[in-house]
Amino acid sequence: MKIYNTLSGRQEVFIPLNKNKVGMYVCGMTVQDSPHIGHMRAYIISDIIKRWLEYKGFKVKHIQNFTDIDDKIIAKAKEENCDFREIAERHINEYMDASDRLGIKRADLYPRATEHIQEIIEVIEKLFKNKIAYKTESGVYFEVGKFEPYGKLSKKNIKDLRAGSRISPDEKKKSAFDFALWKSRKQGEPYWHSPWGKGRPGWHIECSAMSTHYLGDTFDIHTGGEDLIFPHHENEIAQSEAATNKPFVKYWLHNGLLRLTGEKMSKSTHHFISTKKLLPKYKADGVRLYLLSTHYRHPIEFEENRLKEAEESLSRIEEAIVSLKRDLPKEEKLKPNSKILSFVDAFEKAMDEDFNTPKAIGIIYSFIKFINTENLNGIKTQAYSMLLKLCNVLGIYEKEEEVKFDKKLVDVIIDIRKTLRNKGEFGLGDEIRKRLSELNIYLSDQPDGTTIWRVR
């Protein structure tokens, strides 16, 4: 299996650090606003990577953070005159809702920055010990000039950076490209205590602290959108490696961005398509098929027409599965059929080639053509289960299990969850939502305080 590693700039054979276990860290959202479809592309891609690794027999430990404190969250809380936690909580809920609806497998953990202040402080302390951090009145900074391999991920060099950079007047630091590890408290802003006074963590240090806390000093895979390569991931490498003196991540995977009329989808410029708008209109599987029809490293220009087309082609897959399922024979010998195996083989080869989903989707359609035109006597069950299996790798047409439940019982559970949330027990509320989602029951918290639910 080969994957393109941004660090080396080429495809490499994938060899995990620990036999069949893979540690994977996914840069999660800064929860200042609702997720848009550009964000979700990155999470669908990390989902595909995880599914493929699991298909290959690896046990994946998947950690995805939430940045629940930052300038924009604070600004929004001021605007709405509420606590910053309320802003974060609302958008974490919206993210989880979109993620579940899009069939993205849940991470093992979703750590939040504000719940890992201690771990963050410990990394900064190591950086002080290794004499690569310094304190000024505006905060604690990482001294980039002292980290010799700086730029190895983004292929930037410090001299070029130096030319174009200026220190903003409110930041007291030695050099323009030194970045904040800890920001000193400003009037009216939330703060935590640290050995360097009251303040809050910088963005980059959160990911270094949380990823190594859960996955160890060195782990296998780190993913994110290509807009995170610089400075975010470059800084994560600098902090982590300067603190531990060990390599941080073995494989860096970056997805291309989803553009809208030629520009990056972005919250700050209001140039985006929200999932709230898109998902009621289109099937989640159609959105997945649309996004996966382009290789993950390439940019996509968002076009609603192409999304509609994807939904139409999705119906060809659904029809094939349904018609096979309708008249599956009671018993069928499972002697592997070479023609079916050749489709599976081609699919696996495509996925092994740096997750080539467009090619893999093409093979699914050839397989469907075979199903629709060939005599399937004696191999129907095999064709059915293989088609399902391949679709499931793409997170499409996941086997619908019969869900048996009492509607009134679900209402009771939702009622109790509401009481818990009103008491501020958001963790328990999340747990209930997670447990229900395992039964294919999905909750969605509405702005008016009610919760609606549905079966996937």
Binding site for Zn ion (CB under 5 A): 27, 207
Report the residue number, 76 or 233, with the smaller CB distance to Zn ion: 233
Q: Which residues lie across from 60 on neighbouring strands?
A: 22
Distances (CA, A) of 442 to 103, 354, 356: 11, 32, 30
DSSP state, 167? -
Q: Which of 69, 115, 120, 119 is nearest to 91 (CA)?
A: 69
Is the peptide bond between 169 and the residue preceding it cis, with omega within 30 degrees of 0? no
- Smallest distance, Zn ion to C-beta of residue 232, A: 6
The 3-state DSSP class for residue 11 equals strand
Strand 300-301 relative to strand 263-264: parallel, antiparallel, unpaired? unpaired
- Smallest distance, Zn ion to C-beta of residue 249, A: 11
Residue 103 near residue 398 (C-beta atoms within 8 A): yes
Strand 258-260 relative to strand 219-225: parallel, antiparallel, unpaired? unpaired
Report the residue number, 108 or 345, with the smaller CB distance to Zn ion: 108
Report the residue number, 249 or 379, with the smaller CB distance to Zn ion: 249
Q: Which of 306, 322, 314 is nearest to 286 (CA)?
A: 314
Q: Which residues lie across from 141 on neighbouring strands?
A: 134, 180
Per-residue DSSP letters for 281-328? TS-HHHHHHHHHTS-TTS-EE--HHHHHHHHHHHHHHHHHHHHHHHT-
- Smallest distance, Zn ion to C-beta of residue 91, A: 16
- Smallest distance, Zn ion to C-beta of residue 253, A: 13
Q: Which of 100, 11, 108, 9 is nearest to 54 (CA)?
A: 108
- Smallest distance, Zn ion to C-beta of residue 432, A: 28
Report the residue number, 27 or 98, with the smaller CB distance to Zn ion: 27
The Cα–Cα gap between 383 and 369 comes to: 12
Report the residue number, 120 or 361, with the smaller CB distance to Zn ion: 120
- Smallest distance, Zn ion to C-beta of residue 35, A: 16
Q: How many CB atoms sit inside 10 A of residue 449's CB?
A: 9
- Smallest distance, Zn ion to C-beta of residue 22, A: 18
Alpha carbon of residue 134 to chain centroid: 33
- Smallest distance, Zn ion to C-beta of residue 366, A: 39
Report the residue number, 92 or 383, with the smaller CB distance to Zn ion: 92
Report the residue number, 26 or 361, with the smaller CB distance to Zn ion: 26
Residue 170 near residue 160 (C-beta atoms within 8 A): no
Q: Which of 101, 32, 122 is nearest to 69 (CA)?
A: 32
Report the residue number, 194 or 208, with the smaller CB distance to Zn ion: 208
Residue 370 near residue 343 (C-beta atoms within 8 A): yes
- Smallest distance, Zn ion to C-beta of residue 296, A: 18
Report the residue number, 231 or 429, with the smaller CB distance to Zn ion: 231
